[in-house]
Amino acid sequence: MNWEDVKRDCLYYKGHIPCLPNKQNGHVCSSCKAYSKISKRILIIKLGAIGDVIRTTPLLQKYKKLYPGCHITWISDYTEVLPKSWIDHIIPMTSRKMMEVSYTQYDIAVNLDKEPEACILLKQVTAHEKYGFTWENGIAPATRAAKAKLLTGLFDELSKQNKASYIQEIFSICHLEYSDERYILDIDPVHHSQWKEKLQNETSLPVIGLNTGAGQRWPTRQWPLEYWESLIRTLQDKGYFCVLLGGKDEHENNTRLNEKTGAWYPGNFPVQQFIALIAQCDLIVSQVTMAMHLCLALNRKLVLMNNIFNPYEFDLFDQGEIIQPEKACECYFGASCVYGESCMKYITPESIADAVERQLPVKQGNMEPNYSLKYDF
């Protein structure tokens, strides 16, 4: 075997270690029947936030369909939620592997992050086609298609007028036709089996996941704790099994709700375990959070509470509904309420309970989620 015989344009080529066909079957490049020539090298830059990373994954379906045999590299701050079964090379933004990106020639490079480091990276990358946001003494559109998204980010008046979902916007930015591509998410099969067994031991009722937190960036999204308590009691009376969801920031409140209502609170967990837990729920009640995006990716039913964001931004794929305050919110993307109190109090527990019943009548519980059980450690 000579160096000249090595097929470095093969999808299986690892660069410094044996490829899968070699490891499994002893194949070598000169006579390998598994050789698969890379059709396109594609770079996606989407660093965060974690929910935005998840809702950018529909691009993977589109590129794989348009360019069978393409090699996709994705740079992110949240690599743990990226579907390894769909992406050839996942690179953390802070990794030493970033050097590879600087010395690789791509056919297509996309940046959908407005952070300066992401825009500068797209500017520096060598690619035949570039889409999204680049750097010209500041953030700038790589093509005309990115101008609208930049403008809606700069001016609330334009943002409020927007009627396109986030997915429709990013497809337009990438000069792609949106054809109802969905979120993609891998799930750890070990965690999946563990949570499935635990829930089966706890209940046979329809499982409602209650994601009680909303993050620290926009506290105006928080729903009153007493409302959560009232909702839990109502849902329990109607024949649902309530599971309290959240991270470390929600631990105190979830513990309190557990003590007051008996709602099941298993604790807070790393992302992969959290994904597997949400997969066991039939419906999720949440504000605009990571849990909402995980819910949609796993084909769970969703009741979404929203007040400060443009509701057209969210495509629920006919999996649920959005409940908003009866009194119009004046705090668009605001971290504090202009009236001194959040309009979330105008979303009543009764309205959420009614929405749960509309989306998931008791007899329709225990649906099979939609996800991939492929997960490479």
| Structural domains in the chain, sorted by start | 1-37 (no CATH), 41-173 (3.40.50), 189-364 (3.40.50.2000)
pLDDT at position 333: 73
Predicted local confidence at residue 214, as pLDDT? 84
Tokens 């490479």 -> residue? 376
Which residues face 320 on adjacent strands?
302
pLDDT 10s digits, 282-292: 999 999 999 99
Q: Quote the pTM value.
A: 0.90
Answer yes or no: are the C-beta atoms of 21 and 88 closer than 8 Å.
no
* Sheet containing 283-286: order of strands: 241-245, 207-211, 283-286, 301-305, 320-323
* Rounded Cα distance, 36 and 25, in Å: 16
Cα separation, 120 vs 72, whole angstroms: 20
pLDDT for the residue 365? 54
Q: Which of the residues in the chain have pLDDT under 70? A: 364-377
In this prediction, residue 216 carries a pLDDT of 75
Provide the pLDDT for residue 196: 96
- Longest CA–CA separation in the chain, Å: 74
- Residues 6 or more apart in contact with residue 117 via CB below 8 angstroms: 47, 93
290 torsion bin: left (phi>0), alpha (psi -120 to 50), beta (else): alpha
Residue keyed to tokens 């929203």 = 306
Q: According to the model, what pLDDT value does residue 368 have?
A: 53
Which pLDDT score is estimated for 367? Answer: 53
Dihedral sign, Cα of residue 78, residue 208, residue 306, residue 61:
positive
| Per-residue pLDDT tens over the stretch 52-97 | 999 999 999 999 999 999 999 999 999 999 999 999 999 999 888 8
